[in-house]
Amino acid sequence: MAEYRITDTVDITDVVCPVTFVKAKVALEELEEGEILSVHMNDGEPVQNVPRSIKEEGHRVLKLIHNEDGTFDLIVQKA
């Protein structure tokens, strides 16, 4: 059983920087404080930058899951 309940998911594999972060930010905006967003992203630039930018906005990064297909799921709790 997961230690968190995902409220919403967003796929940012179809966009490139800086829209990757913008898309995640917009999705977080839709959530209430404490709710959890799963951000599906590619390896490389997104995984390097998006978690850091999200932390800078004050949100809590709970987990970064490395999927078998090389993509990542970033689990973020909205602050």
Partner 1 sequence: MAFTNEQLERYSRHIILKEIGPKGQKKLMQARVLIIGAGGLGAPAALYLAAAGVGTIGIADADVVDLSNLQRQVIHSTADIGRPKVESARDSMLAINPEIDVHTYYEYITSENISGIIRDYDFILDGTDNFPAKFLINDACVLEEKPFSHAGIIRFEGQLMTYVPGEGPCYRCVFKEPPPKDLVPTCREAGVIGAVAGVIGCLQAMEAVKYITGAGDLLTGRLLTYDALKMQFRTIRLPRDSHCAVCSGERTIHAPFDYELPSCDLKNR
Catalytic (active-site) positions: 17
Contact between residue 41 and residue 50 where contact means Cβ atoms under 8 Å apart: yes
Site string for partner 1, 23-52 (x = CB under 8 A): x-xx--x-----------------------
Among 4, 6, 9, 19, the residue binding partner 1 under the rule CB under 8 A is: 19
Strand ranges for the chain from DSSP E: 8-11, 36-41, 60-66, 72-77
Residues of this chain that bind partner 1 (CB under 8 A): 14-15, 18-19, 21-23, 25-26, 29
